[in-house]
Structure 1
C-alpha cells in the first residue's frame, strides 16, 4: 500500500496474522470507535473473513466499498454509515 492509498482511509487495521474470530472482532472494535463517514481498511489472512466481514457489514448497515483477494491476503474497505 502506497502513501497515497493510506490517505483514502481513516483507520487501517492489520489483522494479517489473526485467525477467526479475531479479524471480525477487531473490525467491530475499530468501527465502534470511528465516526460516521469514516473509512476502515482491513487486511487479514483468514479466509473465513470473506464470509464474516461482509455479513457483519450488511447486518449493521455499513457500506462495503471494496473487497479484494491477493496471495491469500484479503482486504476490505468499509465506510461507517
Structure 2
C-alpha cells in the first residue's frame, strides 16, 4: 500500500468519534491518496464499512492504539483504475 498523504491522530477521542471523523475524511480522499488514521481501539466496525465502500485497509498495532491505512481499492500505485491516469 502507498505512503499516507494525510494523517489523523484520533487516539485521544472516545468512540464513536474516531470512526465518524475517519468516515468524513475518506469522503474527501482523492483517488490515489492514502490516509493514515491513528485510533485508540481496533476499528472492527469501521473496517467493514470501508470495505463495503470500496476502500482497502491495512491495520497495524502501535504502542498506544492502531494505525489504519486507507486507500481506494481500485487504485494502483500510479492512481490507475480510480480516475487517475
The TM tier, using the shorter chain, reads 0.7 to 0.9
Greater Cα radius of gyration, structure 1 or 2 = 2
1:47-81: CA deviation from partner (whole Å, max 9, x where unpaired): 2x4212211111101111x2011334111001024
Once the two structures are superposed, the pairs formed by residues 1-81 of structure 1 within 5 Å of their partners are 8-45=3-40, 47=41, 49-64=42-57, 66-81=58-73
Which is richer in helix?
1
Coordinate RMSD, CA, aligned: 1.7
Q: Which runs of 4+ in 1 moved over 2 A?
A: none
Matched positions, count: 72
Unaligned runs of 5+ in 2: 74-85
Unaligned runs of 5+ in 1: 1-6
TM-score (ref. length: structure 1): 0.77
TM-score (ref. length: structure 2): 0.74
